[in-house]
């Protein structure tokens, strides 16, 4: 129902943005960890340290923040009438496509960390550094869509 959040609306939106910050902080740092982890595969003691850091980041920040961003974001979308075919929500459809892609990237990065854990690295250091830029690019596009709402 449109406007269903009532007085809770600004609080839900604030919480959405707070957990977006936590999720994005984790999304910026995990790919960087992957570069260091991969470069340290042959150094005794290094892989264990990166595995522990990656596990902690995933358990304490990445997974909980992503779940909360999705839950709060879907509540806000329902509040705007997305599920009742509300008008003028082209920006939100585009944003949802991008956040789905970002969630896929999240899954890929966690999967690559698992691969490194078994000593397998199938991306070159250069490619890994390039894919590091994906979350920044996604964040720019998502924030522009959410704030400017160009369509």
Subset of residues 89 to 108 that bind ligand HEM, contact rule: CB under 6 A: 92, 99, 102
Q: Which of 76, 109, 116, 128 binds ligand HEM (CB under 6 A)?
A: 76
Q: How far is the CB of 83 from ligand HEM (least distance, A)?
A: 11
Q: Which of 17, 41, 60, 137 binds ligand HEM (CB under 6 A)?
A: 17
Query: By CB under 6 A, which span of 32-40, 51-59, 71-79, 106-114 interacts with ligand HEM?
Result: 71-79
As measured in angstroms, the least distance from the Cβ of 92 to ligand HEM is 6
- Which H helix or E strand runs over 106? helix 90-117
122, burial (CB in 10 Å: exposed 0-12, middle 13-18, buried 19+): exposed
Among positions 105-124, residues that touch ligand HEM (CB under 6 A) are none
126-129: list long-range contacts, CB under 8 Å, 24+ apart.
Answer: 128/31, 128/34, 128/35, 128/38, 129/35
Nearest approach, Cβ of residue 97 and ligand HEM (Å):
11
Interface with ligand HEM, residue 62, by CB under 6 A = no
Structure-derived torsion over alpha carbons of residues 26, 135, 106, 70, reported in degrees to the nearest 10: 80
Say which residues have a Cβ less than 8 Å from residue 94's Cβ, sequence separation at least 6: 145, 151
Of 101 and 121, the one with the shorter C-beta distance to ligand HEM is: 101
Residues 6+ apart with CB under 8 A from 117: 47, 51
Q: Which residues bind ligand HEM (CB under 6 A)?
A: 13, 16-17, 20, 24, 69-70, 73-74, 76-77, 79-80, 92, 99, 102, 139, 142-143, 146-147
């Amino acid at each position: 129902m449109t406007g269903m959040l009532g007085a809770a609306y600004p609080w839900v939106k604030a919480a959405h943005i707070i957990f977006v910050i936590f999720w994005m902080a984790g999304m910026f740092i995990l790919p960087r960890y992957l570069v260091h982890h991969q470069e340290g595969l042959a150094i005794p003691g290094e892989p264990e340290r990166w595995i522990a850091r990656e596990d902690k980041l995933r358990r304490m920040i990445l997974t909980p923040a992503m779940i909360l961003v999705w839950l709060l974001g879907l509540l806000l979308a329902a509040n705007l009438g997305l599920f009742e075919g509300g008008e003028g929500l082209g920006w939100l459809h585009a944003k949802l496509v991008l956040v789905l892609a970002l969630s896929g990237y999240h899954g890929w990065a966690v999967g690559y960390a698992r691969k490194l854990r078994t000593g397998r690295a199938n991306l070159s250091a250069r490619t890994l550094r390039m894919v590091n830029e994906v979350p920044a690019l996604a964040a720019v596009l998502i924030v522009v869509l959410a704030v400017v709402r160009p369509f």
